[in-house]
Chain A
C-alpha cells in the first residue's frame, strides 16, 4: 500500500484549468484530490478506465483495429466526419486535424454545439478580453451576466476574485461585484449590486448600457433607469472592469445577441476605463481545439476539407450533417455526447476514454486514457492560456499515439493521392 502523491497537477474538470492540485494515488487508483473541489473530485474519479480494442464488438489487436479504421476512413474519403470531443490534449488535436486534411474530411468539435455564437460574434466585431491573471490582479469591478461560477466553476471566486492582486491589495473588499440575473440564469448571491432581468428585457438592457457608456441617454423605464445608472456609474469609475458570462448552454434559452451585446459593451467600456470580457467554458481542452484548428486551418471550428483545402462552414456543422446522413464514415475522438448511431449505414470509429462502453457500439472502438489523468501534454484554459498536463496514471494507450499510428496507416492507403 504505497501512496504516490503528485503535485502541481492540472485539472480539466472545468475551463479554469487550475494547475495547483495534489493528487494521491494508491494501488493504481486515485484516492484523494486536494484542494477538494467537487468538480475536480468528480473529474478525476478513481482514474480507472477500460482497456479494450474492439471490432464489431469483438477484441482485436490494436494494429489490426488501426489498419481496419484506416481502410474504412480511406474508403469514405471526402465523405468522412471527424468529430473532436473536449477531453483531448493539444498534441492529439494536432494529429486529428492532420487526419481530416488527409481524408478530405469534415472536422467538427464540441465547440460548434456550445460556444460557437461567441466565436462567430468575435469574428464580426473583435473583442476585448484578458487572461485570468489580469482579472485577479487588476479587476476592481466585476459584472456577472447571467452566471454564477459556483455551480460549474467552483474555484473561480476563490482563485480570481477573492484574493489580493498586485493592483488590488485590498482583495475582495476592494472589488465591487455586480450580479445581473437573466430569468433562470442566476448571478451570484453575494454581490454588492443586484439586477434581475426578464429574458425579454436582456438585449435592450445591453443596448441601454452601451449607449450610457457612450454618454447617450435612452428611454428606459424609470425603475430600471435608476438601477442601471448606479451600475454605469460604478463601471465608469472602475480602473478595470471584468464582465463574466457563460459560453456554454445554460438554463435559459440563450438569445444569440447576448454575447454580441456583451462584447460590444466591453469594447465600449474601454473608452472611459479598461474592460475585458471573460467567457466561462466547460471542462476539457475546448479552447485548445479552437486554437489548433485556427493555426492549422485558419478557422476555429466547423472546417470542411472535402475540396482539398480547409473551408469554413459554420452554417453547416458536421454534427447536424451526420444526422442527415451526409457521411459514409465518422471518427469520434475523445468523449462526447454525439451519437454515431444516428445514421445506420455510416461506419463509426471511436477512439477515446471508454470508447468500448459506447451506448451504440461502433464498428471499431479503441479505449485510450484521459488527457490530464493518463496523458501528458498541453491544454488551454478558458482564457486561451496553454497549461501543462501532468499524467498521474499509466494509460491503456494514449490518444496521441493511436492517432499518430492512424495517420501513418491512412498515408499507407494512399489517401491523399486518390484525391
Chain B
C-alpha cells in the first residue's frame, strides 16, 4: 500500500457488471483498502489508459487447501519436479519457493492465483474434522481471501437426524458444524453415496435410492440441507455435487435433483461432469441448461475439462474407485471419520480420446447455451477438470469462435453426435460477460457484498489487463493486480504477497442440540467434543 493508503487507477476501461458499468472509461479510487467515490487530485496514480479494468477474480469452486489436496500433492512428486517454483522477488516481504504441477504447494498456489488476477478463492470440499488442516493451509496461501465449504451430505449424525425425521435438529447441527469448523457454506457430495460406499452398498444412483436398512435417500438429504442453508440465512445456498458423477446417463439424476429442490435455492457444481446422456456416452447438456435457464433459484458452475494433465480429487470415493479400475492408475482412498470420504486418481484429458473430447464439448455447450451468466459461472473444478492456470485458455474458447472452431477440428469427434457444439454455436462471450462469470457472478452467488464489484465500499481488489489480440495471453498475465489496496502485481510481476482474509460464517444454532450431540460424540467419536471446534479464528 502506498504511504497515504490512497491509489487512483486512472483512465482504464472499466467492466463492473454489478454496477451496470460495461466498458466505460473512468478512474477507480482506493483508500484504506476500499473503493471510494473520489480522491484528492494529488493522490498516487497508476495510469492504465487503454487497459481493461475489472474487479479481482472470484473462484467459487476450487480444491486448494484441504487434507485431500495434500494427499494428492503427496502423490505427485514427478509433477512437482517438472514444475519448480523459485521464490518470487518481492518488494518488502519474505517470499517462498515451492512446486507446481496440477496441485501446487500452498505459497505457489497463492502467488499463481494472484498472477492470474484472482483475489478470492474457496475450497469446495473440506471434511469437518479436517477443518483445522484447511485453516493451516489457507494461512500459508497468500494473496487471496478465502474459505471453504463443509462436507455434510454423508455425515453420520446428520443422517441420523434425517432418519429420525428431526429436520430442525439437522439444521442446528449444520449451523453448529459451520461454527465449529469456521466454514463458509454447506457442501453435499454424492448425497448418501459415500456412506453407501463405506458401508458396503457401494453407491446410490438415483434420488430415491435408499441407504440399505435406513430409508435415507439422496432426496431427503438434498431437501434437508437446502432448507438448512435457507433457514440459517447462509450467504451461499447449498452447494451440490450430484450422485453418479462421471457416469453415462447421469443427467437423469442431475435433473431429478434439480426438480427435487424445486423452489429452493441451490448451486449445482461442476455441472459438466453430471450432464451425460446414456446408456452410451453422449451429451445431455441441453436439457439440463434449459432447465437451469428457466429456474432462477438455481445456479451452477461448469467444471470445464481442459486438455492436459489433471488431478482428480473428490470426497466421492466410489467414483474414484471406478476411475481407478477403468484407468489402471494410482488410487488413493481415505474414509474419514463417519463424515465423508476422499478419493484421488491422477488423470490426463486427451483431445484424441473420445470421452475427454465429449466432456470438453459438453462444458462449452453449457457455457454457450446459458441464458444467464450470473447463474452459470466459470470453473474447471481445479484441478479435477484442469488447473486454474487454464482459465485464460478457457476464456479464449468462450470469447473467440475462430479459436474454438479450430480446436473442435482437432478433437476426437466419435461421441459428438447430438452435441450442440458440433452443430455450431456461434456465441462469443463479451468482456462484460467474462467479468460476470469470473467475478461479479460468483461474488453474488456467494453473497459477498464487498467482492466482485468496484462500487464505493467494495474491497479494493482490482485486476487490470492490457488488451491483446491473443485473449488467452491477455488473461494469463494481468498488468496490475491490487489486493485490499496493495499493488500485488505490477507490470506483470508479483511484487507483494499479503496474507489473505479468512471468510467464514457464524450462523448460530439452537443450543438444545448440544446434549444429544455430546452423547453422540461420547459414544462414537475419536475426537473429544471439546477439542473438535477450531480455535483462534480472527
Contacts and interface: CB of A to CB of B under 8 A. Distances in A.
Nearest to B197: A274
Contact of B106 (A164, A295, A385): A295
Interface string A271-283: 0011010000000
A43 interface: no
A310 B99 contact: yes
A153 to B, nearest CB: 13
A137 B155 CA distance: 13
A130 B95 CA distance: 35
Given A131-B335, A134-B338, A295 B527 contact: no
Interface string A101-131: 1100000000000000001001111111111
Given A131-B337, A296-B140, A239 B156 contact: no
A372 to B, nearest CB: 12
A385 B198 contact: no
Contacts of A20: 528
A136 B133 contact: no
A95 to B, nearest CB: 11
B149 to A, nearest CB: 18
A126 B87 CA distance: 30
Interface string A358-401: 00000000000000000000100000111110100000000000
A323 interface: no
B84 interface: yes
Contacts of B84: 307, 309-311
Interface residues of A, number: 67
**Residue from B81, B86, B97, B98 whose CB has the most chain A CB atoms within 10 Å:** B97
Interface core residue of A125, A240, A310 (most chain B CB under 10 Å): A310
Interface stretch (B67-75, B184-192, B255-263): B67-75
Interface stretch (B29-37, B169-177, B326-334): B326-334
A184 interface: no
Interface string A1-28: 0000001101000000001100000000
B336 A131 contact: yes
B86 to A, nearest CB: 5
Nearest to A271: B325
Contacts of B275: none
Contacts of B203: none
A131 B330 contact: no
Contact of B527 (A19, A122, A378, A407): A19
Contacts of B136: 90, 94, 292, 295, 378, 386
B98 to A, nearest CB: 7
Given A122-B74, A126-B332, A131-B526, A309 B97 contact: yes
A379 B377 CA distance: 38
B331 A267 contact: yes
Contacts of B197: 274
A255 interface: no
Nearest to B345: A126
A384 B77 CA distance: 19
Contacts of A290: 74
Contacts of B57: none
Contacts of B101: 298
Contacts of B344: 126
A44 interface: no
Contacts of A133: 129, 337-338, 524-527
B415 interface: no
A56 interface: no
A102 B94 contact: yes
B198 A138 contact: yes
A215 B125 CA distance: 37
Given A94-B136, A298-B80, A101 B87 contact: yes
A165 B70 CA distance: 28
B429 interface: no
Contact of B94 (A98, A310, A311, A390): A98
B76 interface: yes
Given A101-B96, A295-B137, A385 B337 contact: yes
Interface in B39-74: 67, 70-71, 73-74
Interface in B504-530: 523-528, 530
Interface in B244-264: none
- Scoring B81, B95, B333, B523 by chain A CB atoms within 10 A of each residue's CB, the highest score goes to B333
A167 B201 CA distance: 13
Contacts of A291: 67, 70, 133
Interface string A226-261: 000000000000011000000000000000000000
A387 to B, nearest CB: 6
Given A137-B524, A274-B197, A312 B73 contact: no
Contact of B531 (A10, A134, A292): A10
B67 A384 contact: yes
Nearest to B320: A126
Interface in B79-111: 80-81, 84-87, 94-99, 101, 104-107
A239 B80 contact: no
A167 B338 CA distance: 10
B97 A134 contact: no
Interface in A290-315: 290-292, 294-300, 305, 307-312
Contact of A309 (B71, B74, B86): B86
Contacts of B338: 133-134, 137, 166
A164 B520 CA distance: 12
Nearest to B329: A126
B81 A388 contact: no
Q: Is the interface of A mostly helix, strand, loop or mixed?
A: mixed
A326 interface: no
Contacts of A123: 74-75, 77
Nearest to A292: B136
B19 to A, nearest CB: 38
B528 A98 contact: no
Contacts of B73: 294-295, 298
B535 interface: yes
Contact of A416 (B87, B331, B526): B87
A270 interface: yes
A159 interface: yes
A126 B330 contact: yes
A377 to B, nearest CB: 10
Nearest to B522: A20
A385 B530 CA distance: 16
B133 A386 contact: yes
Q: Give the one of B75, B95, B136 with max A CB within 10 A.
A: B136
Contacts of A76: none
Contact of A298 (B104, B330, B336, B531): B104
Contacts of A274: 197-198, 200, 335
Given A102-B94, A123-B75, A166 B530 contact: no
Interface string A152-165: 00000001100011
Contacts of A300: 74
B267 interface: no
B439 interface: no
A136 B524 contact: yes
A13 B156 CA distance: 30
A416 B335 CA distance: 42
B99 A388 contact: no
Interface of A: 7-8, 10, 19-20, 90, 94, 98, 101-102, 119, 122-134, 136-138, 159-160, 164-167, 239-240, 267, 270, 273-274, 276, 290-292, 294-300, 305, 307-312, 378, 384-388, 390, 407, 411, 416
Given A129-B335, A386-B136, 5 more contacts: A122-B332, A131-B336, A240-B199, A276-B333, A299-B80
Q: Please list the 4 inter-chain residue pairs (A to B) with the smallest Cβ-Cβ separation, ordered nearest first.
A: A298-B99, A298-B80, A133-B337, A130-B335
17 contacts: A8-B530, A19-B527, A94-B140, A126-B75, A128-B332, A130-B334, A133-B338, A133-B524, A137-B524, A160-B526, A167-B199, A267-B331, A276-B333, A294-B73, A295-B136, A296-B105, A385-B130
